[in-house]
Amino acid sequence: MVKKFVFILVSIAMYQPLWAQDIAPKGVFLTDSIMIGEEISYTLSVKYPKGWQIVFPDSTYDYAPFEFNRKTYISTVSDSTWAFDSVTYVLSSFEIDPIQQLQLPIYVLQKNDSIEILSDPDSVYFHDMITQLPDSIVLKNNVAFRELIYSYNYLYIGIGTAVILLILVGGYFLFRKTIHAKYQLYFLQRDYRRFVQQYEADMQRIQNGKDNTAAIEGLVLSWKTFMERMENRPFTKYTTREIIAAGYGGEELNGTLRKIDQSIYGKVAIEDMHQNLSALSQFTSNQFEIKKQEIKKQETNNG
């Protein structure tokens, strides 16, 4: 019984190399030389008994010293006994060895195992692009300015612009009341500074006693212009009588405006004139502070 078992094992061991010798894959380069980085074609073909399952190396195989680029098949050609397959591999090499060799296998599948059969190795010669190096190298300076041409990724620019616009529009609608309040406050303070500068300049002209009538008229116009912007009322179109009739500012402002009108055409002491103009300036300053606090309160409520 033991002898029979040993005979079976020996028969199996002898059987595989016998049938494996029936096929001999051939691998050849289609050119005999290669330059660095250049593509080269290598054909692996095999003739085998019809009915066998043959597998060729794929892109995961190590083709060193070459690198795999792609491969092409030809349809299987067969008759009643034999079949023929061929694969052409497109490879490239970045090595500089004078002779570069490649040997690829084919695999014969049988149940849960496979048999590897190697082709005969084939070689190519590395072709040097520089055949002779000079003893010395003369470098040429080139300092001329050359403008680089940049390419724009318009897709990313468009997407980025759209995102920024969405953020800005969304932020505006979310904080528009606060933004509007800050906008109002900025222009109110700017207009008040300009008013104070003009008012002080007119006061200086009146103090110097030069053309008091024109200076007082300019001062009143400057005051009306500022009040029109601050209160959103047509003060520049109102006369003193119309301002009083509208009930704006109370008795204190009404009395001050009457006295200023009298000083334009009447004879009023310089001390009284300055007192009336100072009272108008103080009234305007108080109204400015009231308006500023209203805007700040509105900003706080919106925030």
| pTM for this prediction | 0.42
pLDDT band at 303 (very low <50, low <70, confident <90, very high): low
Q: CA-to-CA distance for 48 and 54, rounded, in angstroms?
A: 8
Percent above pLDDT 90 for the chain: 32
Lowest mean pLDDT across 90-104, 168-182, 261-275: 261-275
- Over residues 224-269, the pLDDT tens digits come to 888 888 888 888 888 888 887 777 777 778 888 888 877 776 655 5
Domain ranges, ordered by start, for the chain: 23-126, 176-302
**Across 139-150, average pLDDT:** 76
Greatest mean pLDDT among 36-45, 213-222, 223-232:
36-45
Percent above pLDDT 70 for the chain: 85
Class of domain 23-126: mainly beta
Q: CA-to-CA distance for 192 and 222, rounded, in angstroms?
A: 11
**Across 70-76, average pLDDT:** 92
pLDDT at 151: 76
**Across 1-30, average pLDDT:** 58
